[in-house]
Chains A and B, each alone.
Chain A
């Protein structure tokens, strides 16, 4: 079993829909990361969170430490949100070595 599991692996939706991507992990963590990989390949860090919720524009990330689960939500989705979304956690609390999920490929159709 992977240490970091994402679901779904692929998601296609219509513009305007509310999107949820899930991440479950089995390692102990101090913070969880959400990354976005654009179709051109570039990787951008979206959020780093260790508790509760963070919001940036139409993106909202939540985490439940007890349940070892995080969700990334996108409100009013747009075709430019089409990307691969990746979650990652440190393998050891406070350490630099991240373990990555396999990513969720999101496609938003106009």
Chain B
């Protein structure tokens, strides 16, 4: 069965510092991976997706993620944190077992300190 693990339920960074949110996946087949962001009391917004076309994926709001098969990782990064980046971030694997569905990680809450 496919799964994702997000290391660190809470991450704090200073404004302007590097953001690194970790995600490791478990899959016996090439995975399709996504990062979503959720602001308080809102739904989830797609940041970026990996579909095997390129290992470095650029998303919205300056975020990017690198797929590393050898490390089974898909970490999310942003060079310089902004106060508006404070939110919950979810790593997701797309699976097919008769039907298409998402398997979510448990999420990482990012706090940005002034």
Are both chains from one complex?
A: no
* Interface, chain A (partner B; CB < 8 A): none
